[in-house]
Amino acid sequence: MQLREDYSNLIFYLSPLVAVALTLFFGSFIFLILDLSPIESFKIFFISPISNSYGISELFVKATPLAIIALGLSYCFKNNIYNIGAEGQLTMGAIFGGGIGLLFNDSTSVFLLPLMILFGAIGGAFWASIPAILKTKFNTNEILTSLMLTYVALFILDYFVVGPWKDPEGYGLPKSMPFPDAGRLPVLFDGLRVHIGVYFATIICFITYIVYNKTLFGFKLKVSGLSSKASQYAGFKYNNLIFYTFIISGACAGLAGLFEVSGPIGLLYRDISPNYGFTAIIVAFLGRLNPIGIILSSLLIALTYLGAEDAQLFLKIPSAVGFVFQGLVLFFLLGTDFLNKYKVSIE
């Protein structure tokens, strides 16, 4: 195994496509083993879910949180900080923002939703600031702390929906009252679930692009990610960067959490996220930590969620197949990256 001298930038950006192609190829074996026709199955998995306006709307419903979280995570990952706890930050954002919605549940004010959005971001940022402080003050491993805090956040949500925030008219089910209409995210088209979170994702993508390419802050992230010694030489304060990137990614995850509960769901309950926070890690790397790439990869990964639902319905295979595909994509992506960087020779 040797480092390649002619490490290619072009291939770096093409390798996600190679990874997707390999995933499809090996995925077809899974279908063959299950005695299903790969072509028919892929059609059900990847084409039929988006063959009508409802399907396309659902694609954006799923892609929106993935894109927002992954864009936030890209700040951390660029800086070589591994925030694995976006799921927890998402949950905390839902609790903070959703809590505002429940607190003012008879409000009709136009300011309710903006306040919920603000608190959603604050909740996520607050939860992300804990591993940031632990890392900068005590040099703890942020991968462990951010991951463990995810479970803490999930238990806190559990406590609220079976305890103080339980809907008194909810037949004892572990869920809150629905948010008032003023606290619901407007949809873009009547009858479809796609909501204004799409605009937020677009704006965050645009801002991120500017930050990465034009600003001092983006430059600092790039330098610190490549060489911490050079970053010190340049006079950048690494601890500040750790803190800021955690806050940004936490705020994004919190925002996504609030959008989920005030958008498609409409109330708080136990399972508000089908692992968006974890899947967004794949989305971020598949998109090469590039804001535009992240938008594209979020759409692709969202499709695996939809395809898995359809596959369960029509092919009678478990929806976990969707996670299998996500895993395969990540596996092949890491593989292609590795082979782009290193030459393997068998001795």
Partner 1 sequence: MQSIVEFKNIFKSYPGVIANDDVSFNIKEQSIHAILGENGAGKSTLVKILYGHVKPDSGEILINSDLAIINSPSTAKNLGINMVFQHFSLFESLTVAENLILGMNENISLTKLKDKSKTICDKYGFNLNLNSPISSLSVGQRQSLEIVRSLLNNPKILIMDEPTSVLTPDEISKLFKIIKNLVKDGLTVIFISHKLEEIINLSDYVTIMRNGKVVSTISTQNEDPETLGYKMLGYKVSKAKQVSDINFSQEIFNIKNLSTQSKDPFTVNLNKIDLNLKKGQIFGIAGVAGNGQKELMEILLNENDYEFSGDIFFKDLNINNLSTFQRKSLSISYVTEERLGHSAVPEMSLSENIFLSMNHKSEFKKGDFINFEKINSFASDVIKNFKVDTPSYNVKAGKLSGGNLQKFIIGREIMSNPELLILSQPTWGIDAGSEAFIKKTIVELSQKGVSIIIISHDLDELLEVCHEIAVLYEGSLSKPLNVENINITKLGKYMGGLFD
Binding segment (CB under 8 A) for partner 1, from list 58-66, 91-99, 188-196, 218-226: 218-226
Our CA dihedral for 120, 121, 124, 128, rounded to 10 degrees, sits at -170
Please, what is the minimum distance in Å from the beta carbon of residue 81 to partner 1? Answer: 18
* Residue 270 or 343 having the CB closest to partner 1: 343
Please, what is the minimum distance in Å from the beta carbon of residue 344 to partner 1? Answer: 11
Please, what is the minimum distance in Å from the beta carbon of residue 131 to partner 1? Answer: 23
Distance, in Å, from the CA atom of 249 to the CA atom of 125, rounded to the nearest integer, reads 7
Residues whose CB is less than 8 angstroms from the CB of residue 169 and which lie 6 or more positions away in sequence, other chains included: 177
Please, what is the minimum distance in Å from the beta carbon of residue 204 to partner 1? Answer: 18
- Which stretch of DSSP H or E encloses residue 53? helix 53-78
Please, what is the minimum distance in Å from the beta carbon of residue 339 to partner 1? Answer: 17
* Residue 108 or 215 having the CB closest to partner 1: 215
Please, what is the minimum distance in Å from the beta carbon of residue 206 to partner 1? Answer: 15
Please, what is the minimum distance in Å from the beta carbon of residue 347 to partner 1? Answer: 5
Residue from the set 12, 26, 54, 217 that interacts with partner 1 by CB under 8 A: 217
- What are the structure tokens assigned to 29, written together? 């074996």
Residue from the set 222, 323, 324, 331 that interacts with partner 1 by CB under 8 A: 222
Pair 67, 256: CB distance under 8 Å: no
Binding segment (CB under 8 A) for partner 1, from list 12-20, 211-219, 307-315, 330-338: 211-219
* Residue 184 or 288 having the CB closest to partner 1: 288
Please, what is the minimum distance in Å from the beta carbon of residue 18 to partner 1? Answer: 22
Residue carrying structure tokens 């591994």: 82
Q: By CB neighbour count within 10 A (0-12 exposed, 13-18 middle, 19+ buried), where does 110 fall?
A: exposed
Neighbouring C-beta atoms of residue 113, cutoff 10 Å: 24
The full DSSP string for 307-322 is: HHHHIIIII---TTHH
Handedness of CA 325, 331, 335, 338 (dihedral sign): positive
* Residue 224 or 279 having the CB closest to partner 1: 224
Distance, in Å, from the CA atom of 128 to the CA atom of 123, rounded to the nearest integer, reads 9
* Residue 165 or 236 having the CB closest to partner 1: 236
- What are the structure tokens assigned to 283, written together? 């989305």
When asked if residue 219 is in the footprint of partner 1 (CB under 8 A), the reply is yes
Distance, in Å, from the CA atom of 26 to the CA atom of 258, rounded to the nearest integer, reads 36
Residue from the set 10, 33, 110, 216 that interacts with partner 1 by CB under 8 A: 216
> For residues 223-252, which are near partner 1 according to CB under 8 A?
223, 226-227, 229-230, 232-236
Neighbouring C-beta atoms of residue 34, cutoff 10 Å: 13
Interaction site with partner 1 (CB under 8 A): 2, 5, 214-217, 219, 222-223, 226-227, 229-230, 232-236, 345, 347
